[in-house]
């Protein structure tokens, strides 16, 4: 074996980038899936929708494919016009991303310098760490409340003169708790004007379906400093593979800053067409939200019956403490039952699994498998 060539320079890439993990994971092989064809495994680990997107979105994407010899609209005009009409947010303050993940990483690039601080919930979405680490900034993680929602009081208290960015996920992934507008406004008011508040609303539609507040107007009225809400077509709209997310920012200047950072054609033409058509099929989305609620409640009840302690989630996922080590539970669920679930890779949460809701058939298989694994 030959040794890897040395890096061209001790400073390229920057030290804190050398230390980052490479994203992604290897494909599942038959041997860890009990000899099953990996294509038959039930995917209940990535908070994806198990349901295809709206038929109208599929037709729009098929049509758009025939014209991909042309570049997409670099200003996503049709999509931002439709989002503006739906949300009441000014069109020139809306930015699109290749998934909301692109926006999360981008916000770190224009806010953070080495040794700055970023306040996040604990546990919360892993990309916030990346947004901080690629810029050499420090993550200050504040434990979530018992109901799995972010602790706005604790997060406000964690802010120092070095804080530049706060990621507030509601509903929070992986715990699934959501905040009232009163809570969000408390943090929005407490943050200094030189801190950017990111409201991560990737699961916004699920929160509204569960009777939660719509925070936009309340935050707009309460906060003088900069803020942005990130949402996505990956979850309730079932378009995770298309990679479309958006940011509703509080000023044209902030929206323009995102624009300056991005690659010019960051959302491809098929994705733009699919997202636009998906927005127009509200009934399809509502039926997915309702099916998700039913399966989430079945899974939560089953987990409690089996001696687990789930957080009271409103999302398309549940995190739960298990009576057996989570790593072994995840492995056995895959090997013995062909069900892929996740676990929380966060210090202090070693005993927690995370399950994405899927079809009712998947819930049956999940609960049968868990009963055997936890017996
Ligand atoms: C809280 C949260 N934010 C953002 C994302 C990123 O979603 P996407 O890049 O697919 O829009 C996810 C994905 O799981 C998430 O859970």
Element (H, E) at 230: strand 227-232
Cα–Cα distance measured from residue 154 to residue 146, given in angstroms and rounded to the nearest whole number: 13
CATH dotted code for 15-40+283-373: 3.90.1150.10
Q: Where in the chain is the domain with CATH 3.40.640.10?
A: 55-279
Q: What pLDDT shows up at residue 16?
A: 84
Choose the residue to mutate in 100, 106, 203, 271 for probing ligand 1, maximizing ligand atoms within 8 Å of C-beta. 100
Cα–Cα distance measured from residue 175 to residue 195, given in angstroms and rounded to the nearest whole number: 25
CA atoms within 13 A on the CB side of 333: 31
CATH dotted code for 55-279: 3.40.640.10
Helices (H), the chain: 15-18, 55-65, 77-87, 100-111, 127-133, 152-157, 181-190, 204-209, 216-222, 252-261, 269-279, 282-305, 326-337, 360-373
The mean of the pLDDT values for the chain is 96
Backbone angles phi, psi at 370, to 5 degrees: -65, -35
Alpha carbon of 171 to ligand 1 centroid (Å)? 11
Atom of ligand 1 nearest to the CA of 46: 14
Nearest CA to ligand 1 atom 3: 202
Alpha carbon of 47 to ligand 1 centroid (Å)? 9
Ligand 1 in contact with 105 (CB < 6 A)? no
pLDDT class of 25 with cuts at 50, 70, 90: confident
Nearest to 253 by CA among 285, 289, 228: 228
Q: Which long-range contacts (CB under 8 A, 24 or more apart) does 179-184 make?
A: 179/149, 179/150, 179/152, 179/213, 179/215, 180/212, 180/213, 181/213, 181/214, 181/215, 181/218, 181/219, 183/149, 183/152, 184/152, 184/213, 184/215, 184/218, 184/219
Nearest to 267 by CA among 76, 67, 68: 76
Alpha carbon of 104 to ligand 1 centroid (Å)? 9
Tell me how long the chain is.
375
Q: What pLDDT shows up at residue 7?
A: 60
Q: What pLDDT shows up at residue 8?
A: 61
Alpha carbon of 102 to ligand 1 centroid (Å)? 10
Please write the tens of the pLDDT for every residue from 168-201: 999 999 999 999 999 999 999 999 999 999 999 9
Cα–Cα distance measured from residue 271 to residue 242, given in angstroms and rounded to the nearest whole number: 5
Cα–Cα distance measured from residue 352 to residue 342, given in angstroms and rounded to the nearest whole number: 9
pLDDT class of 243 with cuts at 50, 70, 90: very high
pLDDT surpassing 60 at residue 248: yes
Q: Where in the chain is the domain with CATH 3.90.1150.10?
A: 15-40+283-373
Alpha carbon of 10 to ligand 1 centroid (Å)? 33
123 prior amide bond cis, ω within 30:
yes
Give the mean model confidence (pLDDT) for residues 312-323.
98
Atom of ligand 1 nearest to the CA of 233: 11
Alpha carbon of 125 to ligand 1 centroid (Å)? 8
Ligand 1 in contact with 232 (CB < 6 A)? yes
Alpha carbon of 8 to ligand 1 centroid (Å)? 34
Nearest CA to ligand 1 atom 16: 173
Choose the residue to mutate in 103, 202, 206 for probing ligand 1, maximizing ligand atoms within 8 Å of C-beta. 202
């Amino acid at each position: 074996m030959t040794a890897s060539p040395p890096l061209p320079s001790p400073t390229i890439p920057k030290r804190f980038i050398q230390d980052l993990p490479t994203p992604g994971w290897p494909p599942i092989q038959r041997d860890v899936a009990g000899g099953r064809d990996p294509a038959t495994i039930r995917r209940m680990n990535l908070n994806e929708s198990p349901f295809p997107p709206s038929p109208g979105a599929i037709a729009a994407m098929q049509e758009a494919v025939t014209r991909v010899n042309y570049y997409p609209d670099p200003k996503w005009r049709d999509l931002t016009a439709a989002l503006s009409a739906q949300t009441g947010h000014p069109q020139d303050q809306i930015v699109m991303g290749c998934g909301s993940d692109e926006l999360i990483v981008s916000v770190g690039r224009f806010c953070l310098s080495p040794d700055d601080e970023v306040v996040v919930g604990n546990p919360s979405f892993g990309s916030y760490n990346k947004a901080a680490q690629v810029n050499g900034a420090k993550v200050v993680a504040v434990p979530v409340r018992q109901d799995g929602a972010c602790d706005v009081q604790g997060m406000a208290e964690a802010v120092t003169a070095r804080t530049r960015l706060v990621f507030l996920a509601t509903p929070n992934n992986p715990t699934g708790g959501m905040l009232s507008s009163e809570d969000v406004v408390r943090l929005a008011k407490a943050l200094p004007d030189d801190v950017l508040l990111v409201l991560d609303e990737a699961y916004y539609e699920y929160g509204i379906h569960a009777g939660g507040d719509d925070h936009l107007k309340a935050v707009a009225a309460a906060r003088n400093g900069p803020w942005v809400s990130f949402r996505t077509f990956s979850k309730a709209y079932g378009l995770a593979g298309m990679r479309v997310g958006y940011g509703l920012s509080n000023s044209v200047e902030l929206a323009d800053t995102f624009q300056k950072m991005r690659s010019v054609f960051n959302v491809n033409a098929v994705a733009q067409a699919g997202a636009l058509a998906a927005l127009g099929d509200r009934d399809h989305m509502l039926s997915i939200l309702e099916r998700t609620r039913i399966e989430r409640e079945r899974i939560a009840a089953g987990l409690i019956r089996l001696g687990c302690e789930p957080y009271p989630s409103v999302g398309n996922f549940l995190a739960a403490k298990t009576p057996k080590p989570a790593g072994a539970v995840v492995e056995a669920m895959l090997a013995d039952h062909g069900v892929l679930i996740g676990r929380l890779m966060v210090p202090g949460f070693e005993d927690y699994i995370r399950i994405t809701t899927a079809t009712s058939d998947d819930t049956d298989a999940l609960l049968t498998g868990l009963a055997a694994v936890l017996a």
